[in-house]
Structure 1
């Protein structure tokens, strides 16, 4: 299987490899400088409620693009791409149950499906690295750890549920810098929502994330938590819509838009 080290840096080329099945791994560290996106796909009759949910919860669900019902091209963020094939892996939820994890949506696509692309924290990791803040899951070649919290989202229509957060260990003397760097990217989750004690946001065990892989927290480091675009999957488990399709955690849609376009100076 192709590794991240052998992948090209050009987003269309990476998407082409994903579409062909040559790469199906996590996308952290790929196409540095380009925005990655979370995906949620819903039937048209639920789309307005979900749009409202995103507007009320911009930290975990910062909207980048909404693709019209039945359309498959994200013409604003990645012209020429196909939302059905260009994500390494998809999850299919029916009535709150995860029923499938598949490499393509072509066989189940419907003309009433509306696709939502939301900013991803992988997009600010290059800026963190540039600021001298190591990214532990990239160093380990693993997926970022993600946890379901006790932080409630703002309900909208049929949608409600807990916020999911991603966690990165940060040295104590670099925490202020991490906040400064990531706060410049509000469209890809922005500044942390919590720093320190995981129990304060309902996380019982950092070694048992609900999504992704646990990472080592070394002496002198503090767990830092950012809102996460996997939140819609926790919402699906909570609200049980008839159908919701998402990306598999850590396996994002890579856009052609540059991180700098979304940075606040």
Structure 2
């Protein structure tokens, strides 16, 4: 795949960085949106700082979700772990269907305000896509391929690392892509319990009736989500092309 294939992700990333740096210079534009507001550019923290905090929370939650989801998917597709497949699937499904706001409400009394309960909520919410796609990818490896690998003397660990995971990589990556993209958008709710994220301007705008704040936060969250999703799309294409798909 040519380097030109990465122009779209790089373009979205550049647009995000430009917005972070110069969004505050567009006061006249936002003033037209909110002519009666005393302040139209979100003042409580720089957009760069909010972006960095948002990324840190998302990266932590996504790393945990990917690690747990892939590990659980591998464990329950081994002969000695298949009995746990229904239980693991149900637990992950409950985490996906339980509203993140409800998780925050339950986590705050135990974990306090800030980033930690937000990460817990995002972990539970992002676990199912990773687990589901890991299961689909591993279970979709042709039995004939597995038999051939075992027939040439490969140990179970070698079969997993050299055959199953490479063949399932595109499917697993699709689940990770969904999980991370959803996590980026959902992380904004952390601002309701004191976590510093790109949701701060959105929440402040909703509370104060300032649509300029809401637009600023939503624009940056949208650009971040598109940048990451576009990068994952190119990565999937790269892996797929190497596998001859």
With the shorter chain as reference, the TM-score category is under 0.3
Q: Which has the higher strand share?
A: 1
Q: Which has the higher helix share?
A: 2
User: Which of 1 and 2 has greater Rg?
Assistant: 2
